Amino acid sequence: MSDRDLEQRGIDVIRGLAMDAPQRANAGHPGTAMALAPLAHVLWTRIMRYDPTEPAWPDRDRFVLSNGHACILLYSMLYLSGYDVSLDDLRDFRRLHSRTAGHPEVHRLPGIEVTTGPLGQGVGNGVGLGLAERMLRARYGPELVDHHTFVVCGDGDLMEGVSHEAASLAGHLGLGRLVYVYDDNHITIDGPTELALSDDPVGRFQAYGWHTEDVGEIANDTDALEAALRRAMAVPDKPSLIVLRSHIGYPAPHLTDTSKAHGSPLGEEEVRETKEILGLPPDKQFFVPDDVRDMYREAIPRGQGLRKGWEERLAAWGGDRAEWDALWSGQGLPGWQDRLPAWDKPGEGVATRHSINAVLNAVAPAVPGLVAGAADLTGNTGTQLEGATLQSAEHPEGRAIAYGVREHAMGTVINGLALHGGVLPIGGTFFVFSDYMRPSVRLAALSGAKVVYFWSHDSVGLGEDGPTHQPVEQLAAMRAMPGLRLIRPADANESAHALRVALERPGPTALCLSRQSIPVLEDTSTLAREGVERGAYVLVPGDEDPDVVLIGTGSEVWVCVEAARLLAEDGLAVRVVSMPSWDLFDEQDDDYQDLVLGPGSPILSVEAASSFGWARWADDSVAIDRFGESGPGAEVLAELGFTPEHVAARARALLDELDGLDYDDGYDEEDE
């Protein structure tokens, strides 16, 4: 068999696996994987630099399958080229507890760079991966960082709005070494794309500042595919889009170019007939002959040689190895925590969006991977890095990123930055606009991506912009997300340790920050270090057996402290608990939780947001179960009951209610 014949046999085997796995699972998307088998073959055998035996090698090329429903294509290539993926893994496709999930999940299998599935997200992830490569190459040189990012996307990806934002940003930044292949197969689940799409993708991406090429009907021409990829790789200062006309389900005799081939197994008879066309044994499933497997496994020695050459260059490098190691561990240099500032003047008014910026700039020199930016709100969100160069084509080393008014893209890009490695990204916007980021935040949580969100203007205290900009339900919504660590610091000292926790721990962390100034609280300079880390702590002890416990978060903790003083004048023993993080407090054992919350005392929570979820911790809540008001922030907070006087009255009402009395505090909830 000639080399050309063996290559074609390999491509046909990929198509066979693409049919067999969904057929066995009775679920899946075979058609795109079948159509793109030649492209995958070219990428894995002729183009990409990777080592299956060391999947995390820092200088490997990155591959993103943004149209993640076609994941059987990626799984097949990982198996064939020698990653720790078995043929049994392919047989278990989409089964419970399988390593080969219904969409690619990073960390579930080696060789998967990002978690894709919701369409368009992988497009933005690719921008983050490419941006990380350029940043690190500019800082450390091409002898250590010199790779490309390849992204395959489809019609659905380019219909989703997030891809437009990400593509616009990538074009503006002039990101080379970023190669996208648009699988233009003209098919969606509902039918032909013409039902809903008449864009000119080449013209649109050209307008974004991309290098584009419509290569037409070359989906089965391996030499033409390689040439197109290499032309795109040679563009140094623009991202590239290759528009490839493919035929979904090819060469299935009855289902090529049909929507059924997109989202359903082909059926046993269609699979059999297709295998006969391909020259595969029609009665064998998951057929991989030795010569085909051996051909793809040539990637192992090839990749090992590339990696070992890189390791030799790293060993000979004369740069700061401690800094390099800190980058790839996702941590700061030893002792970076000693740079954390402290505020030791109780009563000093500091908005936590401002204190977090002071903390950020204090630690940034000792956390070399740290980069920060915001969606057009850099100064407002505390993400400004003093003296940092703005990231651009002219300054690829820049650690400050201007995302523009693109929250959707920012969320996906920082996931890509984090999952690339070597970069620890911070992204900021107003908390209410976290709604725009929610899909990417969810994927960060699912992926365990180490990203940090600065979500400022975190309550109705932002004031005059009114209810459209005042977050009410967002705290409850984000707290409900598994894997997301949410911290709402009560003052400047808590904000310092909130960022420390975010930088020390794996996975995503969201910091919810106040627009308005709030006082530095007494004793937080000593208590916040352990208190924030444990999620909640006793700020004002009151008594071993308090009459009532007030729990506050963020900008409402000082209100609780002042309410406790008013109640003390009535002879009541009041404990004040600061609870910056439900997530961190939930990690503590029962003994610590009981120690903080008290021995069965009535508990009143105070938070300028929805009461949803507080019943877990509190007997009653001062909360906002409606939208806010437009007006000066202090007046809005007072109108909605966030004053020491009203909190004290609600505490008395709670005590009277528990004593069987009917207490009227004079505050009409319906007037809220």
Same domain, yes or no: 379 and 301: no
Give tens-digit pLDDT for 359-382. Answer: 999 999 999 999 999 999 999 999
pLDDT at residue number 667:
43
Domain assignment of residue 320, yes or no:
no
Query: What is each CA distance from 585 to 125, 202, 548, in whole angstroms?
Result: 32, 51, 20
The answer to whether residue 443 scores a pLDDT higher than 60 is yes
Q: Domain boundary at 519, 550, 568, which?
A: 519
Tell me which residue has tokens 């909605």: 640
User: In this structure, how many other beta carbons lie within 10 angstroms of the beta carbon of residue 304?
Assistant: 15
C-alpha 35: how far from its chain's center?
30
d(CA 357, CA 351): 10
Work out the pLDDT band at 656, boundaries 50, 70, 90. very high
Burial class (CB in 10 A: 0-12, 13-18, 19+), 3: exposed
Q: Which of 256, 283, 305 is where one domain is finished?
A: 305
Total residue length of the chain: 672
Q: CB atoms < 10 A from the CB of 525, how many?
A: 18
Q: Could you tell me the CA-to-CA distances from 92 to 24, 75, 76, 363, 524 in Å, in that order?
A: 8, 11, 12, 47, 53
331 part of a folded domain: no
Residues 291 and 368 in one domain: no
| DSSP states of 575-621 | EEEE-S-HHHHHTS-HHHHHHHH-SS--EEEE-SS--TTGGGT-SEE
Report d(CA 444, CA 508) in Å as an integer: 6
DSSP class of residue 520 equals P
Please give the DSSP secondary-structure letter assigned to residue 45: I
Residue 670 has pLDDT above 50, yes or no: no
- 252 shares a domain with 353: no
- Are both 507 and 539 inside the same structural domain? no
Any domain includes 325: no
The pLDDT tens digits of the residues spanning 585-631 come to 999 999 999 999 988 999 999 999 999 999 999 999 999 999 999 99
Residue 528 placed within a domain:
no
Give the residue among 224, 609, 131 at the shortest CA–CA distance from 416.
131
Q: Which residues are paired to 401 by β-bridges?
A: 373
> Is 524 within the bounds of a domain?
no
Co-location of 587 and 479 in the same domain: no
Residue 9 three-state SS = helix
The DSSP annotation for 211-253 comes to: EEEEEES-TT-HHHHHHHHHHHHT-SSS-EEEEEE--TTTT-T
Tokens of 382: 């505390």
pLDDT confidence bin for 663, thresholds 50/70/90: very low
Candidates 342, 278, 314; CA nearest to 526 is: 342
Tokens representing 189 are 């689940």
- Whether residue 509 sits in one domain with residue 585: no
Going from the C-alpha of 278 to that of each of 10, 223, 456, the distances in angstroms are 11, 20, 58
Q: What b/e readout covers 443-465, taking b as 16+ CB neighbours within 10 angstroms?
A: bbbbbebbbbbbbbbbbbbbbee
Residues 419 and 356 in one domain: yes
- Please check whether residue 438 is in contact with residue 615, taking contact to mean a CB–CB distance below 8 angstroms: no
pLDDT of 671:
43
| Shared-domain flag, residues 560 and 513 | no
**Domain count for the chain:** 3
Instruction: Summarize the confidence of residues 410-428 as an average pLDDT.
Output: 98
Co-location of 296 and 375 in the same domain: no
Residues with catalytic annotation?
407
Q: What is the pLDDT of residues 228-269, one digit of tens each?
A: 999 999 999 999 999 999 999 999 999 999 999 999 999 999
d(CA 395, CA 375): 19
Q: Alpha-carbon distance 575 to 546, whole Å?
A: 6
In a domain, 11, yes or no: yes
**Contact in structure between 21 and 78 (CB atoms under 8 Å):** no
Mark which of 462, 490, 519 sits at the end of a domain: 519
Is residue 125 within 8 A of residue 64, CB to CB? The reply is yes
Q: Domain holding 578: CATH number?
A: 3.40.50.920
437: burial class by Cβ within 10 Å (0-12, 13-18, 19+)? buried
Domain that holds residue 236: 3-305
> Which residues make beta-bridge pairs with 430?
456
> Do 509 and 550 have their domain in common?
no
Which residues does 333 contact at the CB level (< 8 Å), separation at least 6?
322, 323, 326, 366, 367, 368
Nearest to 411 by CA among 434, 383, 378: 434
CA separation for the pair 164, 157 (Å, rounded): 9
Q: Which of 120, 29, 130 is nearest to 66 (CA)?
A: 120
C-beta atoms surrounding 25 within 10 Å = 18
Question: To the nearest whole number, what is the mean pLDDT of the chain?
Answer: 96
| In a shared domain, residues 227 and 201 | yes
Q: Give the CATH number for residue 193.
A: 3.40.50.970
Phi/psi at 181 (nearest 5 deg)? -115, 115
| Residue 665 confidence class, pLDDT cut points 50, 70, 90 | very low
pLDDT single digits (tens) 519-540:
999 999 999 999 999 999 999 9
**Phi and psi at residue 174, to the nearest 5°:** 65, 50
Q: Which pair of tokens denotes residue 269?
A: 């008879």
In terms of domains, do 509 and 564 share one? no
460 occurs within a structural domain? yes
pLDDT, one tens digit per residue, over 325-352 is: 999 999 999 999 999 999 999 999 999 9
Beta bridge partners of 400: 372, 390
- Does 327 fall in a domain? no
- Model confidence at 383, in pLDDT bands (50, 70, 90)? very high
**Alpha-carbon torsion 315, 321, 327, 329, what sign?**
positive
Q: Which of 572, 578, 585 is nearest to 559 (CA)?
A: 578
In angstroms, what CA-CA distances link 398 with 125, 488, 576? 19, 29, 44
Contact predicate 370/422, CB 8 Å: no
